[in-house]
Structure 1
Amino acid sequence: MVPTKTNQTGTPEDSVTRPNINHLPSELLHMICVYLEPRDIATIRILDRIIAEVGLQYLVSQIHLIPKPDSFDRLLAVAEHPLASRYVNSLFYEADLLRSFRHPEEDRELWEKSLVGPSHASPLEEVQDPHFASACGHLPKRYNRGTSAVVLSHQQHYTKRELQRAYQTYRSYRAEQHRLNESAAYEEAMVRAMKRLPHLTSIFISCERGNTNHFRAAFEAGLCEDVTSDPRMADQICASQLSLLLSAADKAGLQIKKLICGSLGQIFLSCSLERLDAMQRSIQSLHNLHLFFSHIPLEFDSNAASNPHGSSSARADNMQFAMSAPNLETLSIRFDKDRALDPPDLKHLVSDFHWSYLASATFAKMSTGSEILVGFCDRHAGTLKDLSLTDISLYSGRWATTFYEMRQRLKLDKMALAGIIQSVEGDYWNFEIGDHTTKLMIERYIAYSDETQRDLSLGRFIMDFRQALAKRWAPHRPSGLSAVA
């Protein structure tokens, strides 16, 4: 007879009640999953199928898609899963492509210069540091010898066979991406997947540099995780993939509520009228729209109107994109002004359109007239609670008058100013390096809710604010400081 095992208290081990994750209430399971990584959630799901439904809500709520066939296979697998497909609510498409070099004969050489690895840094050019000018002559040579050693370090880490294998893998990755983009089955697969994801309401798409760890790991075998597309091509890639995603969403009958898109450029919405209509239909239910333009589109350029080769219909379509979503609650439009000679005009983006539910608006790196900005505030005075302005230039009017008119119309919970705020009349504030107290005072001036002081001018408000601030800190001023002042 086999003796019964007992614990330290002498109680038979079989009779001891053990904690079981299956017996945990669903509320506690949700709290656990919030703090776990997806990899850990997957392990729990395998060990205890009872909590699979809770774990899946955190495991597959967002699908991370990259331009690689097996990534699309995973998307279809999740979409065809009877349980997992119910919990997918967002799609993040990291659409950046591996770089395709212009000259095939230089392809291998340029690829090697872009290598990354544990013992390799990107090639560095010889740098003539100005500090070396006053130093002895051997220092620059020693410095440049060190640079050359870094450049050649990949030869010490990778054998010729490993380099050849990695280069062939890199070429195969590029060929896969080319076939993926050229194939009509790519769009058909996207439509088929979206039709089986009824709760997909958010789309994020980006081609910005500095890819995610997931993107880099996917192409690690080709030693090309950092060999991404030319930044000048990112806008074309992002615009074409955005067009495809929204067209697929329209065919699938989805109601997209949130759209975040980065790296757009001058071919934004440059597609067929049929595709354009589908894109505009797909965003009719949008509540949140965030657009970032890495290149200034011709249709937003004030000089585009005089360009005989420009398409007025294309410019009009681009201007109407945000207006195709009448139920917007959040609108964010940002530009990369560092890459523009002439900042885009706000009137080309909002015109005289009225979003009935708009509560938050963000405009960055563009120009506007005082009457355009005040008109926007006037139309949305009843709903707008959050306004952010970054690097805005007035080509007509003064900021003091504009701020006063905004103050008369708005009742904001939050006002934010950032970057350089200037006008052709000579107003200039640089809030990146300037007086943060002034920034705070202007923000509070616009959002001030006291009806009895609503008619105060900006100058008077700042004066009163500074006096109140001085009185508040007077008791804490060190003795003798007031006498010196």
Structure 2
Amino acid sequence: MDSLPVELLRLVFSHCDPQSVRSLRTLTRILADVGYDYLLSPQFTAVSWRNDIDRLHSIALHDRLRGSITSICIFLGELSYYDARSTSWFQHFVTPPEQLSEIMGTAMHEFDRIERGRKAVGPLHLRADDLREACSALPNLKDLEVTFTQFPLKNEFLREVFDYPSCRKLDRPQTYNNLDAIIQALHGVPLSTFKVDRLPLEVFRLPSHRSQWFTHAQSFNSLSVLDLTLDPSGLQGPGSSFRAMIGLGRILQLATGLSYLKLAFHPYSNQSSKFAVSFRELFWNFAYPHLTDLVLEGISCEEEDLKEFLARHGATLERLRLGGRGLAKPFEVSLGGICLFEGTFRSLFTGLRTKLPKLEKMHLEGIFECEHHDLPSHEAYNFYPLTNERWEPVPRPKWVRSSRKTISCLPFERYVLCGGPYPGNALSQQHY
């Protein structure tokens, strides 16, 4: 193989798994040299119970390895022991006792190992300097994800209970500091993608923490994808919410080059509620000149306010998703829909037909409802998902039953894209 051109050797290495790469590098000096660039996966995973920040720091300071890393995923989620234990008994109540005892024993052993590691390593913000130095030294770093809702290990028992929002634990003050450390580390890094799947909304109200974001999120102007799922359950009263949303709006307006934006609100204190959003306060007259994809989930708003915000992106918007799973448990209907406390969906969708001429796809998921229950114009729908956020078809969920009156959004999508009679009056009475 030494006689092959370097380009062919690289092609061979690009099709090898990590173990094969290591084996090939032991054969000859040339293979060892060419294979150096394939030792590491371009996706780096950091969990809170290992010294992964030390490992990332070492990679970033290595002349040949630092160019390998293109994305970082930081897992910060924690499992609530007592909630997980009670939930797991409910999930497996028909499992034979001996088998259940063995399964739970294995899961508890894994849980104890993780907690011991977490205590030994300490919180992420204690390694803020190393993380900042590492991120600034990775020349090809483009994507960063922070997740609190995923479980990165193979233990199916723990993965199942982690799907239940009530089993996820969040130390809010520690989370503020950890997120501060991450946003500081990104200062000056030209990211393309930034994602957080549980961002406490009060971060943008608390002066010391919001100033960190205002200072270090200036590099968001390079982003093309911004995916934020916000947890408003730490806010106290309308004044607190207003200040937090103003701070969030300031951050959102830094990302001027976005082509994809997702804003979801997951209120862990009341998982079926919708968070009141004013797009006028959040964005004023700001618009994203290149926005092609927009996802809005779990909000309560005015029809005209939402319609006006969407219309500002009519020249570029191609794909629109309203609603989502929200904080629904695996067996529940989707909870992350849209509530209109003023206006109707008929008026909203009719207006979008003319205001979004470039729109190619629209998807609705969750409970859509108007608040004026006593008026003839009241509308309420329960949409089940047809595609995921990558627009890939998904199988019909097992929780779709006629008793839940769940329906497909396809008639509404056709109405917005192609016109015809409004499907709402008929579908609101149908059972699917």
* TM-score normalized by the length of structure 1: 0.65
Distance in 2, Cα, partners of 1:328 & 1:182: 28
Alignment of 1:397-416 (within 5 A): 397-410=343-356, 411-416=358-363
Cα distance change, pair 428–72 in 1 and its aligned pair in 2 (3 A): same
Indicate the residue corresponding to 1:173 in structure 2. 117
Q: CA deviation at 1:341?
A: 4.0
Distance in 2, Cα, partners of 1:55 & 1:458: 62
Q: Deviations over 1:417-448 (max 9, x none)?
A: 22222223411221224575x62121122223
Structure 1 residues 228-237 or 191-200, which shifts more?
Answer: 228-237
Distance in 2, Cα, partners of 1:229 & 1:419: 20
Pairing 1:276–2:222 present: no
Distance in 2, Cα, partners of 1:409 & 1:123: 48
Q: Percentage identity across aligned positions?
A: 19
Indicate the residue corresponding to 1:428 in structure 2. 380
Indicate the residue corresponding to 2:75 in structure 1. 94
Indicate the residue corresponding to 2:54 in structure 1. 73
Q: Is the 8 A contact 1:381 1:409 kept in 2?
A: yes
Q: Is the 8 A contact 2:198 2:231 kept in 1?
A: yes
Indicate the residue corresponding to 1:262 in structure 2. 197
Distance in 2, Cα, partners of 1:31 & 1:198: 25
Q: CA deviation at 1:237?
A: 5.1
Indicate the residue corresponding to 1:446 in structure 2. 416
Amino acid at match of 2:247: D
Distance in 1, Cα, partners of 2:226 & 2:175: 16
Q: CA deviation at 1:213?
A: 2.2
Cα distance change, pair 273–418 in 1 and its aligned pair in 2 (3 A): closer
Indicate the residue corresponding to 1:194 in structure 2. 135
- Secondary structure (helix, strand or coil) at the match of 1:92 reads strand
Q: CA deviation at 1:350?
A: 4.1
Cα distance change, pair 420–49 in 1 and its aligned pair in 2 (3 A): farther
Pairing 1:376–2:313 present: no
Cα distance change, pair 122–441 in 1 and its aligned pair in 2 (3 A): closer
Within the candidate set 360, 368, 376, 2:293 is matched to: 360
Q: CA deviation at 1:32?
A: 6.4
Indicate the residue corresponding to 1:474 in structure 2. none
Cα distance change, pair 57–201 in 1 and its aligned pair in 2 (3 A): farther
Indicate the residue corresponding to 2:328 in structure 1. none
More strand by share: 2
Q: Deviations over 1:263-310 (max 9, x none)?
A: 2224334444541223321312211000113554538xxx523xxxx3
Q: Deviations over 1:345-385 (max 9, x none)?
A: 25254443211111110011211211112111211111111
Q: Deviations over 1:81-128 (max 9, x none)?
A: 2122113111111123576x8xxxxxxxx7xx96xxxxxx9974899x
Indicate the residue corresponding to 1:220 in structure 2. none
Indicate the residue corresponding to 1:59 in structure 2. 40
Q: Is the 8 A contact 1:235 1:263 kept in 2?
A: no
Cα distance change, pair 188–289 in 1 and its aligned pair in 2 (3 A): same
- Please tell me the root mean square deviation across aligned C-alpha atoms, in Å: 4.3
Indicate the residue corresponding to 1:343 in structure 2. 275
Pairing 1:38–2:15 present: no
How many equivalent residue pairs? 377
Indicate the residue corresponding to 1:478 in structure 2. none
Within the candidate set 58, 66, 81, 1:85 is matched to: 66
Q: Is the 8 A contact 1:393 1:421 kept in 2?
A: yes
Indicate the residue corresponding to 2:253 in structure 1. 323
Within the candidate set 167, 181, 185, 1:248 is matched to: 185
Distance in 2, Cα, partners of 1:377 & 1:22: 59
Q: CA deviation at 1:400?
A: 1.3
Distance in 2, Cα, partners of 1:358 & 1:351: 17
* TM-score normalized by the length of structure 2: 0.72
Distance in 1, Cα, partners of 2:68 & 2:43: 9
Amino acid at match of 2:276: P
Q: CA deviation at 1:21?
A: 7.4
Q: Is the 8 A contact 1:38 1:58 kept in 2?
A: yes
Indicate the residue corresponding to 2:422 in structure 1. 459
Structure 2, gaps ≥5 residues long? 157-161, 324-336, 372-376, 385-399, 427-432
Q: CA deviation at 1:59?
A: 3.0
